[in-house]
């Protein structure tokens, strides 16, 4: 059961992070929160890394094909330039942005903006990924979502890469990655 984060007083910003493995519903949850903010008649803007063109060049699209208009950015500093007078800012695939993202999010929150971030907390090697660990340390609210292990059906926290590439960033979907529990992840790594 998901519990909506506690409301904050008006004119006070905060940072929410939705993290987990691939196929865990991070983007779906981000879109849900942003659409609820739109229903509440808040001014909303969403950003995504320009390198993520898997489903659409500009829109953020979940694995369930839910989508929301977004603005692609090359780096996190661009968000500060483009945020305008928005009250709620969403950032998808945050692990692909640079390490100044936590500072950018802190600046937005200090301006009174609700910042909602979605991203992988671990890379395919099971190591902390990009700016997400630092975002977790400054977040007011954290939601860790889980996928289902495709090997055994347990809860999955790991993104297992099916391809032999050692590149840190390798954009792909079910053709390159699958969610796995800890046990099945390490069994696969030892084969």
Residue 14: closest CA among 94, 113, 82: 113
Handedness of CA 71, 76, 81, 87 (dihedral sign): positive
Contact 49, 96 (CB under 8 A): yes
Active site residue 178: no
**What burial class does residue 191 get, using C-beta atoms within 10 Å of its C-beta: 0-12 exposed, 13-18 middle, 19+ buried?**
exposed
93, 106, 166, 173: the catalytic one is 93
Which tokens is 137 given?
């340390």
Q: What 3 state SS string does 6-72 have?
A: CCCCCCCCEEEEEEECCCCCHHHHHHHHHHHHHHCCCCEEEEEECCCCCCCCCCEECCCCCEECCEE
Residues annotated as catalytic (active site), given as ranges: 93
């Amino acid at each position: 059961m998901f519990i909506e984060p506690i409301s904050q007083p008006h004119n006070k910003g905060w940072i929410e992070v939705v993290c987990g493995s691939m196929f865990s519903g991070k983007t779906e949850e981000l879109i849900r929160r942003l659409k609820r903010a739109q229903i509440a008649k808040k001014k909303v803007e969403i950003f995504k890394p320009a390198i993520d063109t898997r489903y659409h060049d500009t829109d953020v699209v979940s694995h369930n094909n839910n989508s929301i208009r977004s603005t692609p950015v090359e780096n996190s500093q661009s968000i500060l330039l483009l945020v305008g007078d928005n009250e709620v800012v969403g950032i998808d695939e945050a692990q692909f942005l640079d390490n100044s993202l936590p500072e950018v999010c802190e600046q937005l929150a200090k301006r009174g903006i609700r910042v909602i971030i979605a991203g992988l907390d671990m890379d395919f090697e099971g190591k902390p990924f990009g700016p997400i660990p630092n975002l977790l340390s400054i977040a007011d609210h954290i939601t860790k979502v889980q996928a289902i292990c495709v090997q055994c059906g347990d809860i999955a926290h790991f993104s297992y890469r099916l391809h032999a590439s050692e590149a840190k960033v390798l954009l792909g979907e079910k053709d390159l990655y699958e969610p796995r529990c800890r046990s099945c992840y390490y069994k696969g790594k030892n084969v």
